[in-house]
Amino acid sequence: MSDTTLHKSIYLKATPEQVWEYLTDPEKLATWFHKPKAPLTMGSYAMFGVESGDKLMWGDVLVSEPYTRLEYTFTIKPMGEATSTVKWALDAVAGGTRLSLVHEGLPQGEGAFGLTLALDKGWDEHMGRLRADLHDA
């Protein structure tokens, strides 16, 4: 059985520096995703629901290369003790940035497929909000 991995990519009318802020700054993250208490830098993090304040996800930042690459472990309650990895890549393109996401190491098997579907849909929605917020800024 192969590894369960999600791949997403969007184009944004913003510089890699601007996109980086939306991936690491708590106030910018809160506009499209979840809000950490501190900027995402190397080490442990937790993100909380903007409205509920509930702890929604947590892990460790593994790679932080400003304006090009951010990687962190990703765990949520439905995953139990399992940990996956989120990898963001920022590539400058004419007129903006291509932002790519690889979410790998997700639980496998028929029982985990509902979680994969929920994460797939969730990333689409989050990235859509990111695009809307960045383009309206």
Does a structural domain hold residue 79?
no
At residue 1, the pLDDT reads 41
Domain that holds residue 19: 4-66+84-136
Query: Region 12-19: what's the mean pLDDT?
Result: 98
Does a structural domain hold residue 110?
yes
3-state secondary structure of 37: coil
Does a structural domain hold residue 62?
yes
Does a structural domain hold residue 77?
no
Cite the DSSP H helix spans in 14-112: 16-24, 26-32
Does a structural domain hold residue 75?
no
Taking the CA atoms of 50, 116, 84 and 13 in sequence, report the sign of the dihedral they define: negative
3-state secondary structure of 52: coil
Which residues are registered as beta bridge partners of 72? Answer: 61, 86
At residue 112, the pLDDT reads 86
Domain count, the chain: 1
Contact assessment for residue 123 and residue 112, using Cβ atoms and an 8 Å cutoff: no
CATH number of residue 42's parent domain: 3.30.530.20
Asked if the model's pLDDT at residue 46 lies above 80, the reply is yes
Angle between helices 113-136 and 16-24 (to 10 degrees): 130
At residue 109, the pLDDT reads 85
Query: Region 93-111: what's the mean pLDDT?
Result: 94
110 residue type, one letter: E
Does a structural domain hold residue 91?
yes
Does a structural domain hold residue 71?
no
What value, to the nearest 5°, has the Cα angle with vertex 100 and ends 105 and 31?
95
Asked if the model's pLDDT at residue 118 lies above 50, the reply is yes
CA atoms within 13 A on the CB side of 18: 17
At residue 137, the pLDDT reads 65
Q: pTM (2 decimals)? A: 0.93
Q: How far apart are CA 88 and CA 101, in angstroms?
A: 5
Q: What is the pLDDT of residues 67-98, one digit of tens each?
A: 999 999 999 988 888 899 999 999 999 999 99
